[in-house]
Amino acid sequence: MTSDQFNDLARSRRSVFPKQFVPGKEVPKEIIEQILINATWAPNHGQTEPWQFSVFSGKGLQTFANFQSEIYKQTSGENFMQGNYEKLRQTPLLASHIISIGMKRTTTKRIPEIEDVEAVACAVQNIYLSVSAYGLGGYWTSGGITYKEEAKEFFGLGAEDKLLGFFYIGYVDVPSPSAKRKPLEEKVIWING
């Protein structure tokens, strides 16, 4: 890959939402495995590799949908909304695969928690770029049950760990529009001496 090809990949990456996926078309497991291998090559302090992924596909999508909608129902109290409940039950079924994004807290080394979170975020960026390189669509959501303590055990996470969201993957039916970024000058300060 040339630097120009990488620049194009990084700059053309887009979030593609489940309603934009080709319904019912499943991504081969081998591709998902390669995407996950790429995720695990993200930088991480002390080589702790703090990520924990659970992959849902096939009937597992229904298992995920049932779990998250019921956790939402149990924990939302007076804020319960039937529309949100239905969305949590139906949206997962539009994806080929859903990857839960967990952070297993490093306990053997004195690494600040934020650095484990940052490492997992780097792994997710590798997922995003890999999904784009394979011509697929995907997006990272931190909605629904992401920050609910009651959800963590289902994804193999303990009390010190964090559930950081879910990555939905599918074949693209409706591409996302081009995006814009503010000029570099608005975000970078150069110090040359």
What are 38-69's pLDDT values in tens digits? 999 999 998 999 999 999 999 999 999 999 99
Domain contains 187: no
Q: Is the pLDDT of residue 156 over 90?
A: yes
Cα angle for residues 47, 53, 54 (degrees, 5° grid)? 160
Per-residue confidence (pLDDT) for residue 1, from 0 to 100 = 87
Report if pTM > 0.75: yes
* DSSP letter, residue 40: T
Mean pLDDT of 66-74: 97
- CATH number of the domain bearing residue 74: 3.40.109.10
Mean pLDDT of 183-189: 94
Domain contains 7: no
Per-residue confidence (pLDDT) for residue 106, from 0 to 100 = 80
Mean pLDDT of 29-37: 98
Number of domains the chain is built from: 1
Rounded to whole angstroms, how far apart are CA atoms 15 and 12? 10
Domain contains 77: yes
Domain contains 185: no
Burial 73-82 (b: 16+ CB within 10 A, else e): eeeeeeeeee
Per-residue confidence (pLDDT) for residue 110, from 0 to 100 = 84
Domain contains 153: yes
Kindly indicate the confidence band of residue 147, based on its pLDDT and cuts at 50, 70 and 90. Answer: very high
Q: Is the pLDDT of residue 107 over 80?
A: no
Note down the domain range covering 168: 15-175
Rounded to whole angstroms, how far apart are CA atoms 143 and 168? 12
With residues binned 3-state (H G I as helix, E B as strand, rest as coil), the percentages for the chain, rounded to 5, are: 45, 15, 35
Domain contains 9: no
Q: Is the pLDDT of residue 108 over 80?
A: no
Domain contains 144: yes
Domain contains 191: no
